[in-house]
């Protein structure tokens, strides 16, 4: 029995250590594809322990946080006031700036480099645009 368990553990470890091949981006084959991420759980840099209304300091990159009760929030600066944590609209994961977000107007995402994005309808198209402007 111990041999079977040891063999299974070895196979599992070998499988975890094997890297899957990177697939190329069809637009630019020299760039590796970004893993698909469509929800908050896969967004890197989310700050734990954020408190609604409390001061925060980053309003351009890695702006998302999560409260102790699981609410996604973002760091924003209304008008001329100091940045604070606000309730976020739906966080749609990692998206490319300028990408199509039809049907997601007003929702938020993060670019692969951490840039804060918002889905905005302009000139008849909905695209992911910088959320800090």
CA-CA-CA-CA torsion for 94, 123, 104, 38, nearest 10 degrees? -20
pLDDT, tens only, 86-121? 999 999 999 999 999 999 999 999 999 999 999 999
Where residue 34 falls among pLDDT bands split at 50, 70, 90? low
Residue 3 above 70 pLDDT?
A: no
Cβ–Cβ < 8 Å for 86, 93: no
pLDDT, tens only, 37-91? 999 999 999 999 999 999 999 999 999 999 999 999 999 988 788 999 999 999 9
The CA distance from 39 to 53, in Å, is 24
Q: Does pTM surpass 0.85?
A: no
Which one has a higher pLDDT value, 33 or 19?
33
- The ranges assigned to domains in the chain are 34-130
For 16, phi and psi rounded to 5 degrees? -70, -30
């Amino acid at each position: 029995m111990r041999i079977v368990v040891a063999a299974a553990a070895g196979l599992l470890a070998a499988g975890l250590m094997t890297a899957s091949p990177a697939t190329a981006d069809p637009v630019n084959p020299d760039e590796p594809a970004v893993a698909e991420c469509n929800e908050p759980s896969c967004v890197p840099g989310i700050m734990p322990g954020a408190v609604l209304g409390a001061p925060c300091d980053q309003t351009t990159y890695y702006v998302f946080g999560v409260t102790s009760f699981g609410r996604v929030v973002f760091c924003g600066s209304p008008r001329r006031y100091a940045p604070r944590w606000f309730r976020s609209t739906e966080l749609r994961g990692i998206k490319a700036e300028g990408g199509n977000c039809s049907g997601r107007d007003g929702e938020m995402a993060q670019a692969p480099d951490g840039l804060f994005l918002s889905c905005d309808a302009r000139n008849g198209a909905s695209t992911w645009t910088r959320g800090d402007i």
